[in-house]
Structure 1
Amino acid sequence: MVAERVFGPGPHRLRYNGSDVAPLAVAESYRTRQRGLLGTDAVIGALWITRCPSVHMIGMRYPIDVAVVDRAGLVLLIKTLRPWTGGTWPRRGASATIEAAAGAMAEWGIEPGGVLEIVRAAAVTGDPPAAAG
C-alpha cells in the first residue's frame, strides 16, 4: 500500500480582499515552480506559484482549482481543472497562479476582480524577520 502524499499546509497565509482564507505555501524557486502540485495526491490550503501565468495538468492525479492573478494580486481567472487536461492559457497581465483543492476557491468566496495576497509567516506570527547573514 502506498501512502498518500499530501501537499501542505504551508507556513504562510492566503488573504482574499483583506480576509484570511487558508494556509499557503509559496513556490519561488525554479524547481518548486516547475513541480507545483505534481506528485501529490491532495493539497491542504493553497500553493502560490510565482512567475507562473499558466499551468498544465499533465501528470496530475486529482482535480484542482486555480486562480490566475496579476502583479497586484487582482484575480483574472478562476477555473477548476481535471487531471490530464490542458490547463490554462497564459493571460495578458498574468503574473502568478494559485492552486488549491477543487471547490476551494468557491468555498473561500474567491471571484475574478477580487484581490489575493500572501501574508508571510513572520507577519502571521508577529516574529521579527530573520537577520540576513
Structure 2
Amino acid sequence: MRSALTTITDAEGRVICERCLVADRPHTRLRGLLGRRELARDEGLLLCPAPSIHTWFMRFPIDAVFLDGHLRVIGVSPDVVPWRVAARHGARAVLELAAGEAGRRRLEAGASLMLLDSDGAPHAA
C-alpha cells in the first residue's frame, strides 16, 4: 500500500480516526508528525511496520496505540510527551492520535481495527 489517507474503524463500526495517513514507506515513516504544530482530533498517523515510536523534536503530546499484525490493539500509551520513546513487545504498527483521543474513543487492548478505503470498503494494512 502506498502512503494515503484512510478512515479507521473498530469491529463495531465506530470511527476511531476519520483522517489517518498510512505511513508505510521509509520517507513517510521517517517524517512522521515532525514539523506539525498539532494533531487535530479527527487526524492520525498509522506507522507500519513500527514496533515503537519516539517523540523527539515534536511540539505536542500524542496517544500511541500499538497494534499487532492483524490490527488488534495490544497496548495504549496515552499522552506521550515530546522527547520520549514508547514501545510494546509484539507491536507491528503504531497508530498516533491526538493526546486524549484513545481514551475518548475507548480504545483498549483487544480491540480490532479496520482500515477503510475512500469508498468505505475495508482493506488490509
User: C-alpha displacement at 1:17, in angstroms?
Assistant: 2.4
1:96 aligns with 93
Letter in 1 for 2:6: H
1:38 aligns with 34
1:58 aligns with 56
Pick the structure with more strand per residue.
2
Selected match of 1:105 from 102, 105, 118? 102
Aligned-partner SS, 1:33:
helix
Number of residue pairs matched by the alignment: 113
- Spell out structure 1 runs of 4+ moving beyond 4 A: none
Distance, in Å, in 1 between the alignment partners of 2:107 and 2:52 is 18
TM-score under structure 1 normalisation? 0.78
Letter in 2 for 1:31: H
TM-score under structure 2 normalisation? 0.82
Distance, in Å, in 2 between the alignment partners of 1:82 and 1:16 is 26
2:75 aligns with 77
Distance, in Å, in 2 between the alignment partners of 1:66 and 1:15 is 16
Q: Quick check: 66-75 or 21-30, which moved more?
A: 21-30
Aligned-partner SS, 2:91:
coil
User: C-alpha displacement at 1:108, in angstroms?
Assistant: 0.8
Aligned-partner SS, 1:34:
helix
Selected match of 2:17 from 19, 22, 27? 22
User: C-alpha displacement at 1:31, in angstroms?
Assistant: 0.4
Larger Rg: 1
Letter in 2 for 1:25: L
C-alpha RMSD of matched pairs (Å): 1.6
Distance, in Å, in 2 between the alignment partners of 1:27 and 1:103 is 22
Residue 66 of structure 2 contacts residue 88 of structure 2 at CA under 8 Å; is this kept in 1? no
Aligned-partner SS, 1:76:
strand
